[in-house]
């Protein structure tokens, strides 16, 4: 299949399902480290929870969600959905988040990063029904470096194309949920001038010690969220990363909600996770990473 045909298929699928304006390939050629991958990407919500999932990602892409021109403020966020590196909750932790952020005048790029090759078309229920949860998790270990590389490549792409999207190259951040939070957080430790995020937002993120390196003196601003009753114990991960920023005297804010569990997405009206995106946008303004929102 030619690159042009593949682009058209990816563009059509994402536009119909998610309603964004365009989707762009992250690499000009085959992504380094997965040159021999030949399987086909899938997308469906045929699972017990009706969660729209993307799986078997071979060619990483960015789906672009642009705010209305009159509200655009020059800030950009790359959003990395979660799914244990086996799938992406592409609406719940991608398109739905993007639609809220664009209302704040932010340009959003939803990242589809490389994933474990699965033989099923129902990765969400595969996760729920896995007999050996550790073995299921361990399947993702070889993929994590590739996914993190995609996160860094996304930052490089957005910065290099800042003028095209009318964004400020010094107000580009990355946000991630669960496994996507690991992708986002990793970019905060090792970066170049082109791949440095200006702010990093891990949301109920899996943050193993293996990705938490030394905090550089020019480390980006950190905004971190999790629920204390997170089923995977990721609240302790959030605290550990926050403490690193605090010890290094780098800008950081942390919200540990008393209730919310894992996977609250854009917020749950039954607890205090609701409207966290409003508080996040206030923080961006306070850090001079976004212009004040005008209603």
pLDDT one-digit tens code per residue, 259-280: 999 999 999 999 999 999 999 9
pLDDT at 149 (0 to 100):
98
**Structural domain contains residue 16:** no
pTM of the model: 0.92
Position 82 in a domain: yes
Packing angle of the helix pair 179-186, 144-160 (nearest 10 deg): 60
Predicted confidence band of residue 294 (pLDDT cuts 50, 70, 90): low
Predicted confidence at residue 20, as pLDDT, reads: 56
Structure tokens at 153: 């490549």
| Average pLDDT, integer, range 114-128 | 97
User: For the domain that residue 116 is a member of, what is the CATH number?
Assistant: 3.40.50.1820
What percent of the chain has pLDDT above 90? Answer: 91
Angstrom distances, CA of residue 141 to CA of 82, 186, 288: 15, 14, 37
Q: What is the pLDDT of residues 197-226, one digit of tens each?
A: 999 999 999 999 999 999 999 999 999 999
Residue 145 covered by a domain: yes
Domain that holds residue 154: 26-286
Cα three-residue angle 214-220-225, rounded to 5 degrees: 90
Indicate if the pLDDT at residue 231 is higher than 50: yes
Domain membership of residue 59 (yes or no) is yes
How large a percentage of the chain has pLDDT more than 70?
92
Residue pointed to by tokens 């480390």: 219
- What is the tens place of the pLDDT at every residue in 18-58? 335 689 999 999 999 999 999 999 999 999 999 999 999 99
Counting the structural domains of the chain, the total is 1
Write the pLDDT tens digit of every residue in 48-90: 999 999 999 999 999 999 999 999 999 999 999 999 999 999 9
Angle at 226 between CA 152 and CA 124, to 5 degrees: 70
DSSP 148: H
**Mean pLDDT calculated for residue range 166-172:** 98
**Is residue 174 in a domain?**
yes
- Confidence tier at 295 by pLDDT (50, 70, 90): low
Please check whether residue 291 lies inside any domain of the structure: no
pLDDT of residue 292: 84
Evaluate whether residue 260 is within a structural domain: yes
Report the pLDDT averaged over residues 135-164: 98
- Report d(CA 129, CA 136) in Å as an integer: 10
Contact 226, 271 (CB under 8 A): no
Domain assignment present for 15: no
Instruction: Tell me what the pLDDT averaged over the chain comes to.
Output: 92
DSSP letters spanning 187-220: TTTS--TTT--SEEEEES----GGG--PPPTTPP
What's the pLDDT score for residue 197? 98
């Amino acid at each position: 299949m030619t690159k042009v045909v593949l682009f058209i298929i990816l563009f059509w699928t994402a536009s119909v399902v998610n309603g964004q304006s365009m989707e762009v390939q992250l690499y000009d050629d085959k992504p380094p480290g997965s040159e021999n991958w030949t399987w086909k990407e899938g997308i469906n919500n045929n699972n017990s929870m009706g969660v729209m999932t993307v799986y078997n990602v071979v060619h990483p892409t960015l789906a672009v969600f642009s705010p209305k021109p009159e509200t655009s403020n020059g800030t950009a966020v790359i959003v990395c959905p979660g799914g244990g590196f086996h799938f992406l909750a592409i609406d719940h932790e991608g398109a739905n988040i993007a639609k809220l952020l664009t209302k704040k005048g932010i340009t959003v790029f939803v990242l589809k990063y490389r994933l474990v090759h699965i033989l099923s078309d129902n990765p969400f229920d595969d996760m729920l029904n896995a007999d050996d949860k550790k073995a299921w998790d361990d399947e993702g270990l070889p993929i994590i470096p590739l996914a993190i590389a995609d996160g860094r490549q996304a930052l490089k792409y957005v910065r290099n194309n800042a003028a095209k999207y009318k964004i400020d190259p010094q107000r580009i951040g990355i946000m991630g949920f669960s496994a996507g939070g690991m992708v986002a957080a990793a970019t905060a430790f090792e970066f170049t001038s082109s791949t440095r995020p200006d702010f990093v937002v891990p949301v109920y993120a899996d943050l193993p010690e293996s990705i938490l390196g030394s905090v550089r003196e020019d480390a980006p601003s950190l905004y971190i969220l999790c629920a204390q009753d997170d089923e995977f114990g990721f609240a302790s991960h959030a605290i550990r990363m926050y403490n690193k920023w605090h010890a290094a005297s780098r800008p950081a804010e942390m919200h540990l909600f008393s209730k919310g569990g894992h996977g609250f997405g854009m917020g749950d009206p039954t607890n205090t996770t609701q409207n966290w995106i409003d508080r996040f946008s206030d923080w961006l303004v306070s850090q001079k990473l976004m212009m004040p929102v005008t209603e």
